[in-house]
Structure 1
Amino acid sequence: MDTTRPLRADSPAGNTPAPGPDAAAGETHMTPGARRALTAAVTGTLIEWYDYALYGAAAGLVIGPLFFADADAGTSLAAFATFAVGFVARPLGGALIGHLGDRHGRRPAMLLTILLMGVATVGIGLLPTTAAIGVLAPVLLVLLRLLQGMGAGAELAGAMTLVAEFAPPSRRGLYTSLVLSTPPAGIALATAAFLGVASLGDEALLAGAWRWPFLASAVLFVLAWFIRRRLDETPEYRAAQERAAARGERERTPAMQLLRTRRSALAVAFLSITGHNALNYTMAVFALSFLTSEAVGLSRPEALAAVTLGSLAGVVATPLGGWAADRFDPGTVVALGSLLGAGYVFALFTGLSSGSALTAGLVIAGGYACVISLTSGAQGAFLAGLFPPRQRFSGIGIAREANGALVAGFTPMAAAWLVSQAGGAWWPAAAFVSVCCLSSALAVFLWRRTHPRAEH
């Protein structure tokens, strides 16, 4: 039986955090510890999305010919399958590292995520290709993607949890949206990096220039590790642990407790970001191969420039979604963004198929500014409000990364397959993304109807 129900702020369904020693209920400013947490969260999230967008760009442009000899470099299903593999490992990372974060604290969990991602990303940059070591190359590539996925599987969940628990209650939406505005920056940084090496020409790119952006990420990882070593534990987590200790409670496996008592919250968390992920990864990953296909005919640098331009719009607009979440409520903003996405995706594909790099960049920018800004900006506050502090890291991690494995990771491959099956027509892929967006809006709407006090 599902025991999910709206309770007071410090119990399983409150959206407003229980005030800790550093965050009284009426405060609107952040303490020094909170500012360090925000810096650590933003840095790690930037790296996570730089890594994933970097591999997404590589999957659309170079992974096929270098690691799968018979694959088409443009829309290779094999290359997109290795992109999806990283998402398959994310729920495992979300569950295991989320357990560590709920059981032993946010700081050690956040250090582990950055270590796993750093080793995997730099490892991909050093990996020999199939021409050098044969079939071992794609095998090692898959293993590194699994390792990268495990680290990334807890990174954004941990970042949202960390900032939500430090943020003043009345500013939870805004401050978590600052973390969630970082993914478009990571995407833009990665595509700009690939744009730089792609401009050297196909021969130089395939000869080894593609490795440089992967290896350059080592600098970011060292910086993030240094910042995270100075993190404090969140006051809300400390308070929850102290209350549990006073009552003699000891929750050994937060994930299992979630599955027993909060199945509805997990399901809603999963469904609420389905449209967000489908649209986001269509614009950030699939668009690159679609734009460089024979049907559209853009060059690699033009496609990369269009995605970079579009991604930057999300950096600026996402905090507006966070402000709206604080002004109204997170569920309303997420549902509205999802509904907008269901219709906007058709305009997106119309612009992508125009053959103009400028038009493609503008419709991608519109998707980030008008849709992702809302679904991403309000996402942190909405998801944090579904789970109590002692299960929050696990709850957000499991729900987000299960969706990542089933929706985000496979959307580029599904879109490529749908376009291929339709003889190059884009409307089936657009319809797929639209249905994903509608499912998110419906899930949030039904949740708010049955749990009217859960976000207040």
Structure 2
Amino acid sequence: MSTPAHTAVVSDREARKVAFGAFVGTALEWYDFFLFGTAASLVFNRLFFTGSPAAATLAAFATFAVGFAARPLGAILFGHLGDRIGRRTCLIVTVTMIGIVTGLIGVLPTALSIGVLAPIALTVLRLLQGIAVGGEWGGAVTLAVEHAPKDKRGRYAAMPQIGSPIGTLLSSGAFLAVSALPKESFDSWGWRIPFLIAFPLLAVALYLRRRVEESPLFEQLLAEDERASSPVKDVLLRSFPQLMVGGGSAFLGVGGFYLATTFVISYGTATLKLPQALMLGATLVAAAVEILVLITGGRLAERYGAARVTVAGGVISAVAAFPMFWLIDSKAAALVIIGVTLGVACLSIPYAVSGALLTELFPARLRYSGVALSANVAGVVSGFVPLVASAFLAGAGGASWTAALLLIVIALITAISGMLAPRVALGRDDEVQEVGIRG
């Protein structure tokens, strides 16, 4: 079936406004999500879980993984609604949920106050956060791409991706600031401040997002009654190869990132006994460099195609995996920072073009659902990466080679998926799109 989705005309000015609105929303999304990952490494394992330090860390990372396990529920719910009632409405709902849930984590009592109810409440809030995030990114990148001129989709698809390092900068920066407090103050109230900041950030995100117009492509689908009646079902039954390839292509940008940040923070502080401030500072430097990589990657997608960039990024990340951990294992502050930055920079290459690649795998009438489900196929597995890496680390007596091998496997899955993307795109039920999917 051909859709009318290719005839809409949009201006650069409108595209920039929508892309900025998508960026701000995803920045809040990733601030909140990364904040939980950092807290799982530094706070939740001590204040919300009991047992040995290793068991408490595994329990905290398991709660971290719950958010990823919940993301497909959000992808299904908001993917269906986004392809039926509109992208804009769903994005307002998801960003509101994310902000409120994150703020509520900041007022949770600890296990010392309410016992087992503390980790239960934390897990429930993480579940709700995961559902909201499951529908957020797919909608944001879909809206950005559908407003963009077709020859500039690579750069506009990269805009929501920049929300990731900005979220990292904000969350790591917030924790770095409060970590300077005395330990008693940090444990009692200091760690809560970064979570409570989500409330004012939500107000800003809502103001900007409400000013964004609905996708002109969706409005055409609505006017011409070309919407899918069951978009999620259609994706699963008619676009399953695209779904799997899309998930694989996004795996390194999500799972690899959590290995290089969330797991590495825990590994550096607990195993190598490095200062907490050093590990947080390393993530800040890496996030700043990542912004430049993402901007460059978006332009490369327009020139060479998102598939080729994905393959290159996967191969480069696999090659850099062992050097990254060798640098961190040196325990020298400068080399630790370089190691974390190297890892994050390499895996950000395919992440930069993930939006361009995924949106081109699916027709407009299934795009929100297809993109959201693909990203969250990767997200479900990615949520367990810190947990698996920690388990492997314990089994190897604290040796980092297990984590390096895990990163190589993730990188190669993404590289292979990038190679397959042009082929599976030919199986779509409408013509192959204009940007990104070419080998």
The bucket for the TM-score relative to the shorter chain is: over 0.9
Structure 1 match to 2:429: none
2:187 is the alignment partner of 1:206: yes
Once the 2 structures are TM-superposed, how far is the Cα of residue 74 of structure 1 from its aligned partner?
9.9
Separation of aligned partners in 2, 1:186 and 1:310: 12
2:103 is the alignment partner of 1:103: no
Matches within 5 A, 1:131-146: 131-146=112-127
Amino acid at match of 2:102: T
Matches within 5 A, 1:55-204: 55-72=36-53, 76-204=57-185
**Structure-2 change in CA distance of 1:125 and 1:450 (3 Å):** closer
Once the 2 structures are TM-superposed, how far is the Cα of residue 39 of structure 1 from its aligned partner?
2.1
Structure 2 match to 1:26: none
Structure 1 match to 2:273: 297
CA contact (8 A) 2:252 2:351 kept: no
Of 408, 417, 439, which aligns to 1:443?
417
Amino acid at match of 2:39: A
SS in 2 for 1:293: helix
Amino acid at match of 1:397: A
Amino acid at match of 2:310: V
Matches within 5 A, 1:325-336: 325-336=301-312
Separation of aligned partners in 1, 2:384 and 2:333: 25
Separation of aligned partners in 1, 2:398 and 2:240: 40
Of 244, 262, 274, which aligns to 1:285?
262
Separation of aligned partners in 1, 2:183 and 2:54: 11
Matches within 5 A, 1:420-435: 420-435=394-409
Once the 2 structures are TM-superposed, how far is the Cα of residue 71 of structure 1 from its aligned partner?
4.4
Separation of aligned partners in 2, 1:443 and 1:21: 31
SS in 1 for 2:362: coil
SS in 1 for 2:9: coil
Amino acid at match of 1:347: P
CA contact (8 A) 1:279 1:433 kept: yes
Instruction: Give ranges in structure 2 of 5+ residues lacking alignment.
Output: 427-431
CA contact (8 A) 2:50 2:56 kept: no
Of 8, 18, 21, which aligns to 2:9?
21
Segments of 4+ moved more than 6 angstroms:
none
Once the 2 structures are TM-superposed, how far is the Cα of residue 173 of structure 1 from its aligned partner?
0.5
CA contact (8 A) 2:45 2:60 kept: yes
Separation of aligned partners in 2, 1:213 and 1:253: 39
Structure 1 match to 2:368: 393
Structure 1 match to 2:333: 357
**Structure-2 change in CA distance of 1:449 and 1:118 (3 Å):** closer
Separation of aligned partners in 1, 2:123 and 2:386: 17
Structure 2 match to 1:238: 219
2:13 is the alignment partner of 1:31: yes
Of 364, 375, 378, which aligns to 2:350?
375
Separation of aligned partners in 2, 1:205 and 1:72: 19
Separation of aligned partners in 2, 1:147 and 1:371: 28
CA contact (8 A) 2:27 2:162 kept: no
- TM normalised by structure 1 equals 0.90
Once the 2 structures are TM-superposed, how far is the Cα of residue 451 of structure 1 from its aligned partner?
4.9
Structure 1 match to 2:314: 338
Amino acid at match of 1:137: A
Separation of aligned partners in 1, 2:215 and 2:361: 18
**Structure-2 change in CA distance of 1:68 and 1:316 (3 Å):** same
How much is the aligned-residue C-alpha RMSD, in angstroms?
Answer: 1.8
Once the 2 structures are TM-superposed, how far is the Cα of residue 73 of structure 1 from its aligned partner?
7.6
**Structure-2 change in CA distance of 1:444 and 1:181 (3 Å):** same
Separation of aligned partners in 2, 1:368 and 1:152: 21
Structure 2 match to 1:263: 240
CA contact (8 A) 2:392 2:402 kept: yes
CA contact (8 A) 1:187 1:284 kept: no
Aligned residues: 430
CA contact (8 A) 1:268 1:447 kept: yes
User: Per residue, is there more helix in 1 or in 2?
Assistant: 2
- TM normalised by structure 2 equals 0.94
Once the 2 structures are TM-superposed, how far is the Cα of residue 22 of structure 1 from its aligned partner?
2.2
CA contact (8 A) 2:242 2:425 kept: no
Structure 2 match to 1:274: 251
2:27 is the alignment partner of 1:46: yes
CA contact (8 A) 1:75 1:416 kept: no
Separation of aligned partners in 1, 2:425 and 2:138: 23
Instruction: Give ranges in structure 1 of 5+ residues lacking alignment.
Output: 1-6, 12-16, 24-29
Separation of aligned partners in 1, 2:288 and 2:358: 24
2:286 is the alignment partner of 1:310: yes
